[in-house]
Amino acid sequence: MEENPDKKSTEELTTGEKPGSASLVGRVKESSTALKQRAIEEVKGYADPQDTQLWKSIFRVSHDRSDPRNRSLAVLSNVFLHLHPAKINRDAVRYPFTWGMGGITFYLFIVLTFTGVLLMFYYHPTKADAFRDILYLEHDVPFGKLLRNMHRWAAHLMVITTWLHMFRVVLTGSYKRPREFNWCVGVVLLVLTLLLSFTGYLLPDDQLGFWAVTVGTNMARATPMLGSEGPFGVQLGMTPFNDVRFGLLGGSIVDSNALLRSYIWHCIGIPLVASIFMAVHFWRIRKDGGISGPAPVMLESEMKAIKKK
């Protein structure tokens, strides 16, 4: 019989099956074996996750230890790591040089943001609630005490690490050209760190915070020209109800407005400003040529004469 590919047999047309093939059971078996084979092949492909589309879509590059280019790409193509250069001075990773204080300060800022956000869930910045919320945190919220303690101690630690970071930068002369401006950004960050810590001090609304802030803001009264008790303040029309202290506290005494202002500065205002300065600080480290050393020592005899303009 002549084979005509276009013409289907009667059997095929009625049952949808080619004539002469095996029984239904046989065919199911056959296709399931094929499917199994295909699954095994596919699973073998997943053995290396780096070959998957998911991995590639996230990380873009595979982690190939033997390929130096990949190690660089791992850093450069990652948003969290791209603050780093791909390669650094071999001695820069030695602990005694940097003391790790700048990095630890940044890490503590992250810890403080994390614990701070959690604390915000339990805290109302009002005179009626603030102190009770702290008691609630300490006694009823699961791990609330741990949370508050961590926030407090991380804040203190951050002040210490900021100072030590500054100390190291001076001892290694890292503020020198071309990093002068970044040092200034750092000084601003130091002040912001202290202000962050200070604004947080009032929030528990206890005697400790209340009197610390009272003492602190009383000094603002004495601001020259802007304070009611400062030099030339009275002459310029400053009273306790319109001077700089009034602006800081939102009133002439440390009360509910002061609590709210301090809360907003602490949780939104200063962190926002500090984040911007931090972005500049880190970006400038890269743009100014990475961390300063350990650099080869320069000799007195190699000092160049100053260029005359």
Partner 1 sequence: MAGRFSLSKGTLITLGAVVALVLLAVFFVEDWHQLWKISSAPDNVPIVAMLFLVPFFTWLGIKQSRDNDRLIVALEQDPKLSKTSHRKTEPWRPGWAKEIHVWPYLVRIEFLAAVIVTFVLFVWSIVLNAPLEEPANPNLTMNPSKAPWYFLGLQEMLVYFDPWIAGVVMPSLIMVGLMVFPYVDSNPLGNGYYTLKQRRFAVGMFVWGFLMWILLIVIGTFIRGPGWIWFWPGQTWDHNAVVFDKNVDLHDWIATSRIGKTLHLGFLAADPWKFIFGFLVVSGFFILGALFFHWLMTVDFKKLSLRPLRLFPQDPFEQKLLARTSLLQYLTFQFFAVSVLLAMPVKLILRLALTIKYVWVTPWFNI
Site for partner 1 in 99-118 (CB under 8 A): 99-100, 103-104, 107-108, 111
Which residues, at least 6 apart from 238, have a Cβ–Cβ distance to it below 8 Å? 225, 226, 227, 228, 230
Q: Do 274 and 196 meet the contact criterion of CB atoms below 8 Å apart?
A: yes
> Which of 190, 180, 162, 166 is closest to 288 using CA atoms?
180
- Nearer of residues 147 and 267 to partner 1, judged by Cβ: 147
First CA to last CA distance, the chain: 104
Site for partner 1 in 58-87 (CB under 8 A): 68, 71-72, 74-75, 81, 84-87
Site for partner 1 in 256-295 (CB under 8 A): 292-295
Please identify which residue in 118, 119, 134, 274 interacts with partner 1, judged by CB under 8 A. 134
- Nearer of residues 75 and 273 to partner 1, judged by Cβ: 75
Size of the site for partner 1 (CB under 8 A): 106
> Which of 162, 180, 144, 169 is closest to 274 using CA atoms?
162
Please identify which residue in 116, 197, 265, 274 interacts with partner 1, judged by CB under 8 A. 197
Q: Is the dihedral of CA 100, 105, 111, 113 positive or negative?
A: negative
What span, in angstroms and rounded, lies between the C-alpha atoms of 217 and 213? 6
- Nearer of residues 45 and 103 to partner 1, judged by Cβ: 103
Site for partner 1 in 137-196 (CB under 8 A): 138, 145-146, 148-154, 156-157, 159-160, 163-164, 167-168, 170-177, 179-180, 183-184, 187, 190-191, 194
